[in-house]
Protein backbone atom coordinates (compact mmCIF):
# COMPACT_ATOMS: atom_id res chain seq x y z
CA UNK A 1 0.00 0.00 0.00
CA UNK A 2 2.72 2.50 1.03
CA UNK A 3 -0.08 5.00 1.71
CA UNK A 4 -0.92 5.33 -1.98
CA UNK A 5 -4.70 5.14 -1.97
CA UNK A 6 -6.72 6.93 -4.63
CA UNK A 7 -9.55 8.92 -3.08
CA UNK A 8 -12.43 10.31 -5.14
CA UNK A 9 -14.57 12.88 -3.29
CA UNK A 10 -17.90 13.90 -4.77
CA UNK A 11 -19.96 17.00 -4.10
CA UNK A 12 -22.22 19.50 -5.82
CA UNK A 13 -21.77 22.42 -8.16
CA UNK A 14 -23.58 25.75 -7.77
CA UNK A 15 -26.66 24.24 -9.48
CA UNK A 16 -26.80 21.20 -7.23
CA UNK A 17 -25.43 18.82 -9.88
CA UNK A 18 -23.24 15.96 -8.66
CA UNK A 19 -19.57 16.51 -9.47
CA UNK A 20 -16.11 15.21 -8.54
CA UNK A 21 -14.52 17.67 -6.11
CA UNK A 22 -11.18 15.88 -5.92
CA UNK A 23 -9.58 12.79 -7.42
CA UNK A 24 -6.08 11.90 -6.27
CA UNK A 25 -3.99 10.29 -3.60
CA UNK A 26 -5.45 10.54 -0.10
CA UNK A 27 -3.64 13.40 1.68
CA UNK A 28 -3.67 12.06 5.25
CA UNK A 29 -0.96 9.38 5.07
CA UNK A 30 0.50 8.90 8.50
CA UNK A 31 3.40 6.59 9.26
CA UNK A 32 4.32 6.44 12.92
CA UNK A 33 7.97 6.64 14.02
CA UNK A 34 7.25 4.58 17.12
CA UNK A 35 5.65 1.82 15.03
CA UNK A 36 8.02 1.27 12.07
CA UNK A 37 6.21 -0.03 8.99
CA UNK A 38 2.74 0.90 10.28
CA UNK A 39 0.93 3.26 7.91
CA UNK A 40 -2.57 4.67 8.39
CA UNK A 41 -4.45 6.56 5.73
CA UNK A 42 -7.45 8.44 7.06
CA UNK A 43 -9.79 8.79 4.11
CA UNK A 44 -12.56 10.91 5.63
CA UNK A 45 -14.05 11.96 8.93
CA UNK A 46 -17.16 13.69 10.10
CA UNK A 47 -17.94 15.75 13.19
CA UNK A 48 -21.71 15.46 13.48
CA UNK A 49 -24.61 13.09 13.12
CA UNK A 50 -26.48 13.56 10.98
CA UNK A 51 -23.68 14.83 8.77
CA UNK A 52 -24.42 18.24 7.25
CA UNK A 53 -23.69 17.89 3.53
CA UNK A 54 -22.41 21.22 2.22
CA UNK A 55 -21.45 22.24 -1.30
CA UNK A 56 -18.15 23.85 -0.27
CA UNK A 57 -17.05 21.95 2.86
CA UNK A 58 -13.26 21.86 3.38
CA UNK A 59 -11.36 18.58 3.29
CA UNK A 60 -11.49 17.32 6.91
CA UNK A 61 -8.32 15.24 6.52
CA UNK A 62 -5.89 18.15 6.55
CA UNK A 63 -5.87 18.55 10.35
CA UNK A 64 -4.08 16.58 13.07
CA UNK A 65 -4.39 12.79 13.34
CA UNK A 66 -6.88 11.35 15.78
CA UNK A 67 -7.30 7.69 16.60
CA UNK A 68 -10.95 8.30 17.51
CA UNK A 69 -13.79 10.24 15.88
CA UNK A 70 -15.10 13.57 17.10
CA UNK A 71 -18.20 13.57 19.28
CA UNK A 72 -21.05 12.30 17.06
CA UNK A 73 -18.50 11.82 14.29
CA UNK A 74 -16.86 9.08 12.25
CA UNK A 75 -13.45 8.16 10.88
CA UNK A 76 -12.86 6.08 7.73
CA UNK A 77 -9.34 4.62 7.66
CA UNK A 78 -7.15 2.05 5.93
CA UNK A 79 -4.05 0.81 7.77
CA UNK A 80 -1.17 -1.36 6.73
CA UNK A 81 0.08 -3.33 9.73
CA UNK A 82 3.54 -4.85 9.29
CA UNK A 83 4.61 -8.17 10.79
CA UNK A 84 5.09 -7.69 14.51
CA UNK A 85 8.67 -7.50 15.73
CA UNK A 86 10.38 -7.77 19.11
CA UNK A 87 10.65 -3.97 19.04
CA UNK A 88 6.83 -3.77 19.18
CA UNK A 89 6.48 -6.54 21.77
CA UNK A 90 9.04 -4.83 24.03
CA UNK A 91 7.47 -1.36 24.10
CA UNK A 92 7.01 -0.22 27.70
CA UNK A 93 3.75 1.29 29.03
CA UNK A 94 5.12 4.85 28.96
CA UNK A 95 6.14 4.57 25.29
CA UNK A 96 2.76 2.98 24.48
CA UNK A 97 0.94 5.95 26.04
CA UNK A 98 3.20 8.25 23.98
CA UNK A 99 2.04 6.51 20.79
CA UNK A 100 -1.62 7.07 21.69
CA UNK A 101 -0.92 10.65 22.84
CA UNK A 102 0.50 11.39 19.38
CA UNK A 103 -2.82 10.15 17.94
CA UNK A 104 -4.87 12.47 20.16
CA UNK A 105 -6.00 10.03 22.85
CA UNK A 106 -3.39 9.07 25.46
CA UNK A 107 -6.08 7.71 27.79
CA UNK A 108 -7.04 5.07 25.19
CA UNK A 109 -3.89 3.09 26.01
CA UNK A 110 -4.55 0.29 28.50
CA UNK A 111 -1.08 -1.29 28.46
CA UNK A 112 0.22 -1.37 32.02
CA UNK A 113 -3.38 -1.03 33.26
CA UNK A 114 -4.59 -4.49 32.35
CA UNK A 115 -3.79 -4.46 28.63
CA UNK A 116 -1.58 -7.42 27.70
CA UNK A 117 -0.07 -5.98 24.50
CA UNK A 118 1.76 -2.65 24.07
CA UNK A 119 -0.94 -1.35 21.72
CA UNK A 120 -3.98 -2.52 23.70
CA UNK A 121 -6.51 0.29 23.82
CA UNK A 122 -10.17 1.11 24.37
CA UNK A 123 -12.21 3.94 22.87
CA UNK A 124 -15.88 4.82 23.25
CA UNK A 125 -16.60 3.82 19.67
CA UNK A 126 -18.15 1.12 17.58
CA UNK A 127 -15.61 0.11 14.95
CA UNK A 128 -16.25 -1.89 11.81
CA UNK A 129 -12.96 -3.55 10.85
CA UNK A 130 -12.41 -5.53 7.63
CA UNK A 131 -9.31 -7.55 6.78
CA UNK A 132 -8.64 -6.58 3.15
CA UNK A 133 -5.52 -8.72 2.70
CA UNK A 134 -3.18 -10.78 4.80
CA UNK A 135 -3.97 -12.09 8.25
CA UNK A 136 -3.94 -10.72 11.77
CA UNK A 137 -4.89 -11.55 15.35
CA UNK A 138 -7.44 -9.53 17.27
CA UNK A 139 -6.32 -9.55 20.89
CA UNK A 140 -8.95 -9.08 23.58
CA UNK A 141 -8.51 -9.23 27.36
CA UNK A 142 -8.20 -13.03 27.43
CA UNK A 143 -8.70 -14.17 23.84
CA UNK A 144 -6.86 -14.13 20.53
CA UNK A 145 -8.94 -14.35 17.35
CA UNK A 146 -7.17 -15.27 14.10
CA UNK A 147 -8.57 -13.30 11.14
CA UNK A 148 -7.98 -13.64 7.41
CA UNK A 149 -8.84 -11.60 4.31
CA UNK A 150 -12.59 -11.02 4.10
CA UNK A 151 -13.21 -11.41 7.84
CA UNK A 152 -15.09 -8.61 9.62
CA UNK A 153 -14.95 -7.51 13.26
CA UNK A 154 -17.60 -5.38 14.96
CA UNK A 155 -15.55 -3.92 17.81
CA UNK A 156 -17.85 -2.43 20.46
CA UNK A 157 -15.70 -0.36 22.82
CA UNK A 158 -13.68 -3.38 23.90
CA UNK A 159 -10.09 -3.40 25.09
CA UNK A 160 -8.17 -4.69 22.08
CA UNK A 161 -5.02 -4.70 19.94
CA UNK A 162 -4.03 -5.98 16.51
CA UNK A 163 -1.07 -8.37 16.23
CA UNK A 164 0.34 -9.37 12.85
CA UNK A 165 2.11 -12.68 13.53
CA UNK A 166 2.64 -13.49 9.85
CA UNK A 167 5.56 -12.59 7.61
CA UNK A 168 3.53 -10.26 5.33
CA UNK A 169 1.78 -6.91 5.89
CA UNK A 170 -1.94 -6.96 6.70
CA UNK A 171 -4.23 -4.38 5.12
CA UNK A 172 -7.20 -3.33 7.29
CA UNK A 173 -10.18 -1.06 6.62
CA UNK A 174 -11.86 0.64 9.59
CA UNK A 175 -14.98 2.73 10.07
CA UNK A 176 -15.02 4.23 13.57
CA UNK A 177 -18.24 5.73 14.92
CA UNK A 178 -18.47 7.78 18.11
CA UNK A 179 -20.25 5.97 20.92
CA UNK A 180 -20.95 6.20 24.60
CA UNK A 181 -20.55 3.52 27.25
CA UNK A 182 -23.61 2.49 29.19
CA UNK A 183 -23.20 3.85 32.78
CA UNK A 184 -23.02 0.31 34.21
CA UNK A 185 -20.22 -0.64 31.82
CA UNK A 186 -18.39 2.66 32.28
CA UNK A 187 -18.35 2.09 36.04
CA UNK A 188 -16.42 -1.17 35.50
CA UNK A 189 -13.62 0.71 33.69
CA UNK A 190 -13.09 3.36 36.40
CA UNK A 191 -11.51 6.68 35.39
CA UNK A 192 -9.52 5.31 32.44
CA UNK A 193 -11.15 3.40 29.65
The percent of residues above 70 in pLDDT, for the chain, comes to 97
Asked if residue 23 is part of any domain, the answer here is no
Residue 55 CA, distance from chain mean position: 27
What is the rounded average pLDDT of the residues 54-66?
81
Tally of CB atoms within 10 A around 111: 23
Window from 45-59, 151-165, 171-185 with minimum mean pLDDT: 45-59
Domain contains 114: yes
Q: In this model, does residue 170 exceed pLDDT 90?
A: yes
Give how many domains the chain has, as a whole number: 1
Q: What's this model's pTM, rounded to 2 decimal places?
A: 0.81
Asked if the structure places residue 22 within a domain, the reply is: no
Residue-range definition of the domain harbouring residue 62: 28-189
Q: Say if 178 falls within a structural domain.
A: yes
The total of other beta-carbon atoms located within 10 Å of residue 192's CB is 12
% of the chain beyond a pLDDT of 90:
31
* pLDDT mean across residues, the chain: 87
Among 84, 80, 87, 78, which Cα is nearest to 167's?
84
135 vs 65, more confident: 135
Mean pLDDT of 123-148: 93
Residue 50: band (very low, low, confident or very high) from pLDDT cuts 50, 70, 90: confident
The lowest-confidence range among 92-101, 105-114, 184-193 is 184-193
CATH number of the domain bearing residue 59? 2.60.120.10
Phi and psi based region of residue 188 (left: phi greater than 0; alpha: psi -120 to 50; beta: remaining): alpha
- Is residue 67 domain-resident? yes
Q: Are 134 and 79 in contact (CB under 8 A)?
A: no
pLDDT at 1: 66
CA–CA separation, 30 vs 45, rounded Å? 15
Q: Return the exposure string of 26-51: e unless at least 16 CB atoms fall within 10 Å of the residue's CB, then b.
A: bebbbeeeebebbbbbbbbbbeeeee
Residue 98 within a domain: yes
Query: What confidence category does residue 114 fall into, taking pLDDT thresholds of 50, 70 and 90?
Result: confident
Is cis: bond before 50, omega within 30 of 0?
yes
| Distance separating alpha carbons of residues 100 and 111, to the nearest angstrom | 11
Task: Measure the CA dihedral 170/171/172/173, to 10°.
Answer: -170
- Separation CA 188–CA 29 (nearest Å): 36
Amino acid sequence: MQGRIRRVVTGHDENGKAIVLSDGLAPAVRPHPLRPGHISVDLWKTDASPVILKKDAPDPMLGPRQIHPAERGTVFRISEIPPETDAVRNVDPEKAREVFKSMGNESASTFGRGGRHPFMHRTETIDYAVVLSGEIYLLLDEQDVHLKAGDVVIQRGTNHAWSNRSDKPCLMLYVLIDGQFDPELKEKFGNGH
